[in-house]
Amino acid sequence: MQNGRVKTYKVSAFGECYETLRQTTTWRVCTTQRGVVSLRVQFYDPTMRTFSIAFLALALLNACVSETESTAENEVVNVYSHRHYDVDRQIFEKFTEETGITVNVVKAGADELIVRLTNEGEKSPADVLITVDAGRLVLAKKKGLFRTSDSEVLRENIPASLRDPDGTWFSQTVRARILAYAPERVDPQELSGYADLADEKWKGRILSRSTANIYNQSLLASIIAHEGEAAAEAWARGVAENLARPPKGNDTDQIIAVASGQGDVAIVNSYYIGKLFASEDRGKAAAAREVSVFFPDAAGRGTHINVSGAGVLKHAPNPENALRLLEFMSSPDIQKLYAEANAEFPVHPNIEPSEILKAWGEWKRDTLSLERIGKYNAKAVEIFDRAGWK
């Protein structure tokens, strides 16, 4: 055994082969781009080389077959997700229970995930990208990260206005960009549409998070689409001048600031208030009860909406499992879970919102194409910078 030599080879379940020269001897080895099996082959006697080569070939063949069978028995779908809610974990667990497909999740910021997918290219292990807002979905499509998914189930469960016309991404949930106001300081008759927030009567009374956030960018993008760049910039300048404080924190922080008297009206996403109502933190739940909700532009084009959405990735190693997951997330039972557990509006037309959201009454949605909103995202960032709304 003192003359023994050990060599380790990585084995591919995809059956692709290449020839590797090892000490003047050519070995044919099955390799993989993803998921490897290591073989250790020892040679104790140079005269046994012929036998060892034959043994290696047989062992490699068995390894390839075994790993392929194992993959079939333990199917997976790999998800890159910007969403960070407990309800998503519950949904993935239900999917595994019903299909036997394991869901592997990598969580990070949307921009980080898009950069990562771009860098990984065809070697990416990801099957599905889940992110928020049409702006990021359109960006991912523009970068060629998605593939087209032809699914009758998705077309039936998700209205055309809430999915990409080319079938690359599909909305999962809807959030309205609403106004949270202090009822003891604001008469709801004073409120009308987003445009009114630029009026000087609101000087020092408006609260908002930073315009670096995609939600504000998409709101301004919708104004660009409806009214043009000049009107959008005038609006952004007017609101910036009316802010009660420099933008900071997320939408929850704006709601709490209204409740504590730091401002009178906050621009927020609807589900933040819904989640505060259900919060186990008594202070946060109390803040939700201190504000009232107003849906802007009810008499006009309707309230701007954001979405969370997903698409099957171009280089997905498990595209069929990925599509099954998207269809599962659009199903009635799962849409009901989104609505009740996370205070989001369902995309499925036959599923009602949660009791908290229904208590806010009927409201009118802006039906502007989400694809079109996404295309104006970069222009919105430019306008915010010029307007001084940071």
Q: What is the pLDDT of residues 50-94, one digit of tens each?
A: 434 433 443 443 444 344 334 445 799 999 999 989 999 999 999
Tell me which DSSP letter residue 353 carries: P
What residues contact 64, with CB distance under 8 A and at least 6 apart?
A: 11, 12, 13, 15, 30
Q: Using 50, 70 and 90 to split pLDDT, how confident is the model at 353?
A: very high
Lowest mean pLDDT among 3-12, 93-102, 190-199, 226-235: 3-12
Q: Token pair for residue 16?
A: 């692709």
Distance CA 113, CA 117 (A): 6
Phi first, then psi: give them for residue 278, nearest 5 degrees: -90, 5
- Distance spanning both ends of the chain, measured CA to CA: 71
Buried b (16+ CB within 10 A) or exposed e, 63-87: bbeebeeebeeeebbbbbbbbebeb
Q: What is the pLDDT of residue 22?
A: 34
What are the residues facing 9 on neighbouring strands? 39
Distance CA 209, CA 255 (A): 11
Query: What does pTM read for this prediction?
Result: 0.78
Q: List, in order of start, the domains of the chain with CATH numbers.
A: 5-73 (no CATH), 76-174+306-353 (3.40.190.10), 175-304+375-387 (3.40.190.10)
CB 305 within 8 A of CB 171: no
Q: What is the pLDDT of residue 279?
A: 85
Q: Using 50, 70 and 90 to split pLDDT, how confident is the model at 111?
A: very high
CB 250 within 8 A of CB 284: no
What number of residues does the chain have? Answer: 390
Q: What is the pLDDT of residues 116-125, one digit of tens each?
A: 999 999 999 9
Q: Token pair for residue 286?
A: 């109390």
Residue 363: is its pLDDT beyond 60?
yes
Q: Token pair for residue 178?
A: 């609403």
